[in-house]
Structure formats: structure tokens, C-alpha cells
């Protein structure tokens, strides 16, 4: 599994704080961010582009139906 770049993780943590995400929930948000980054790396999507997110969600849906 890819590690989240420190710079990205720091910005992500600030964002979670601004959205008032409970501290005990942040581990789950980080986990899904890591899954997303792994997906983008594996399928050569740019994780910085919002256009990659629907592909990630569709992949999750495909896995659920199988």
C-alpha cells in the first residue's frame, strides 16, 4: 500500500479539522484516502484531479457486486 505523502496528509488533516470530523473517525478517512491513492497509482489516474474519483467509486461498486 502506498504511503500518503506528508504534505498531502498535513493538508488532509487540516481539512478534516475544519469539517469538524471527530478525532476517533479520522483513522477511517485516512484509510480511504490511502485506498484512493493506491487505486490512482495502480490504474494510472491523477489523484489530484476530481475526475478520478468517479472511477474509484465505480471500481468499488464493481467489487461489491462480484
Q: Encode pLDDT of 11-62 as tens digits.
A: 999 999 999 999 999 999 999 999 999 999 999 999 989 999 999 999 999 9
Statement: residue 65 has pLDDT above 80: no
Alpha-carbon distance 18 to 7, whole Å? 17
Residue 18 has what pLDDT? 96
Q: At what angle do helices 6-18 and 26-43 cross, to 10 degrees?
A: 140
Average pLDDT over residues 7-11: 93
What confidence tier does 3 reach under pLDDT thresholds 50, 70, 90?
confident
Q: At what angle do helices 52-65 and 26-43 cross, to 10 degrees?
A: 100
Alpha-carbon distance 19 to 50, whole Å? 19
Q: For residue 45, which phi and psi values (nearest 5 degrees)? A: -105, 155
pTM of the model: 0.85
Amino acid at each position: 500500500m502506498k504511503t500518503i505523502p506528508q504534505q498531502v496528509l498535513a493538508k488532509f488533516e487540516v481539512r478534516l479539522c475544519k469539517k469538524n470530523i471527530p478525532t476517533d473517525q479520522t483513522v477511517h478517512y485516512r484509510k480511504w484516502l490511502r485506498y484512493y491513492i493506491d487505486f490512482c497509482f495502480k490504474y494510472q489516474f491523477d489523484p489530484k484531479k476530481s475526475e478520478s474519483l468517479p472511477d474509484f467509486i465505480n471500481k468499488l461498486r464493481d467489487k461489491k457486486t462480484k
